[in-house]
Structures are given as structure tokens and as C-alpha cells.
Amino acid sequence: MAKFTYIGRETRSVTKLFRNTQVKIAYGTNNNLGRLLRYNATGTENKYEKSGIYQLSCPTCNRKYIGQTGSPFHVRFREHQHDYNYMCRKSRFAQHLLDEGHTFGPMESIMDVVHYARKGKMMDALERFHIYEVTQTGIQINDKLTIQCNPIFDTLVRHHQHRGNC
């Protein structure tokens, strides 16, 4: 048995060579829903210069806030920090810290890049999925009223937990 990642006509041309042999051919793809919604952030040096989905962790209670930004992550972090410093309460994360009397930490210790993405429907879906995932753990800061039951997300979360968070 030989497995080929299907990329189009080229794959069919190559696999035709095995037609009159004992080798069985299987096609696969890396482009599936689970992979698209999973974390794709890497430890690049300039990770805060990109846009996408991020997670802020409260340094006191370790509750999580998931957000999205079309701006660089460091710019969005400064906006949350500004709201905390000036008690603006526009940021749900800053509001949590102010209401609970918790402290604000440095970007490198409280901000995690979850998924790189550009603004649009894909980014919106990724944000909803990651908010949903954190909500299932009971430690989310985001507005709980925005989370609705989603069987697809349930399946992906269960699959992710079953695989040992790999």
C-alpha cells in the first residue's frame, strides 16, 4: 500500500505508473478541518509582528481570553494594556483584571499566539473555535453568551483531547 497526498492531476499521472503492479494506491490530504482549526503558531522570532488569533492568560488566576486581530499582535496587546492602565473597560481582558484586582503582566508571559491568520471569515471561525475550546475547560474570560452549542467543534475538541493535546 502506498499513500499519496493528492495535489491534482500530477498525482494521478504518477499513480498511473502503479496500475499494473501489486501496489495499492491510497490518496490523502493535509487540508482538513481539524488541521485548519488547530494551532499553527510557531516559535518564530517576530511572532508578535503578525496577525491572527491570540490568547491572553491572567497572571493571577490563569483564566484565558481568546481574541483576534488584523493588526500585529503587539499592537493589540498594547490596546489591552492601555485599557487596563486607564481603566477604560473596553477590553474584556482588562475588565476581568480590574474587577478581580489582578495584575497585568508582560507580553512574553501572558500572550500566546494561537493561530496566524488574515482578517476575514476564516479568522472569525478560528476565533469562535478557540473560544469554544477554552470555554469547555471552564477558564474562559470571553463573554459566555456568545458561545453556542456546536457539534462540529465538540467533535474536534474531543478528538484533540483524545489525542493527548498533541
Rounded to an integer, what distance in angstroms lies between the CA atom of residue 98 and that of residue 118? Answer: 30
The domain locations on the chain are 2-31, 37-162
CATH code, residues 37-162 = 3.40.1440.10
pLDDT (tens, 9 = 90+) of the chain, 166 residues, equals 778 777 777 777 778 877 888 888 887 776 666 566 555 555 556 899 999 999 999 999 999 999 999 999 999 999 999 999 999 989 999 999 999 999 999 999 999 999 999 999 999 989 998 998 898 888 999 876 566 777 778 777 776 665 554 4
Residue the block writes with cell 481539524: 34
pLDDT for 166: 40
Measuring CA to CA, how many Å separate 18 from each of 7, 9, 149?
A: 17, 15, 46
